[in-house]
Amino acid sequence: MGAAGAAGARGVTVVALPRGVTPWTPLVSDRDVIFYRPGVCSVCERPLDHEHDAAHVLSTLTGKCWKYSERLRGRYRLIARFHLIATHPLAAPHHIEFYAAARAATIADLAMYEELDRPLYQEVTREVRADVDRMMVTYHDLRHLDEGWDGKGPRPSEKAALFNAFRAAYADDLRQPASVADQRVSAWWVILGVSQSASAREVRAAYRAEAKRCHPDRANSRHRWQRLREAYELAQAQGRA
């Protein structure tokens, strides 16, 4: 039997597999199910500065959407099975009629299910977006903090102060979600690589030194340069630079 296709719900194509192939391969992949809605897709289309960022993003999305995608994929599999049986060369007319009706009922059920479940999915999407934003900020700040401890940044005596500042900024991140802007306000000294009690002179010196290291003209670090600028502007707004 050829690879004849039938249109499934939401524009997903159900493909008839060759005779004798069992069990049939899932016809809708995790990526198709999880990312076919614009709300989630827009999160992943943002430019990522590091492969590890992409892994974190995908892990968060998969964890949030796994149960939802499993239910949807199960219904798509039912549609595929109905199509396989109804188009089999040995299928009797009453089999074709029965499975065609069952397939139509399953598609209708899937459409109703998605409609009723939309508020839940929208809530999950909002949670995913918030988690991704917090995760990206935390990850880049932590990576910057680690880089600052390699001998080019803060002195060993300042490590404890920097770590405590970082932990204070993000300890309640999951229990009390804060906006990205709020986190940046509370952690600007971590990004600049100084202690929270640093003087204005120390803040300016740290900014100039770090700006030389991560300027886009000298290094492929657009994200770090942007975060550094934002941190310095926040320090200036608070009268600390």
Q: Is 203 within the bounds of a domain? A: yes
Q: Give the best-scoring range by mean pLDDT among 18-27, 107-116, 173-182.
A: 107-116
pTM of the model: 0.28
The larger pLDDT score, comparing residue 117 to residue 36, is at: 117
Considering only CA atoms, which of 46, 41, 40 is closest in space to residue 127? 40
How distant is the alpha carbon of residue 99 from its chain centre? 38
14: enclosing H helix or E strand:
strand 13-15
Is 201 a residue whose pLDDT tops 70? yes
Kindly state whether residues 94 and 48 are assigned to the same domain. yes
Considering only CA atoms, which of 134, 124, 139, 82 is closest in space to residue 105? 82
Distance CA 48, CA 45 (A): 9
- Boundary of a domain, candidates 81, 103, 136: 136
Kindly state whether residues 125 and 214 are assigned to the same domain. no
Mean pLDDT confidence for 188-208: 84
Kindly state whether residues 175 and 130 are assigned to the same domain. no
Kindly state whether residues 113 and 178 are assigned to the same domain. no
Is 235 a residue whose pLDDT tops 80? yes
pLDDT-wise least confident of 40-54, 97-111, 135-149, 179-193: 40-54
What residues make up the domain containing 203?
A: 149-237
Helices (H), 149-187: 159-170, 180-186
Query: In total, how many domains does the chain have?
Result: 2
Longest CA–CA span in the chain (Å) reads 86
Is 213 a residue whose pLDDT tops 70? yes
Q: Is 141 within the bounds of a domain? A: no
- What confidence category does residue 229 fall into, taking pLDDT thresholds of 50, 70 and 90? confident
Is 136 a residue whose pLDDT tops 80? no
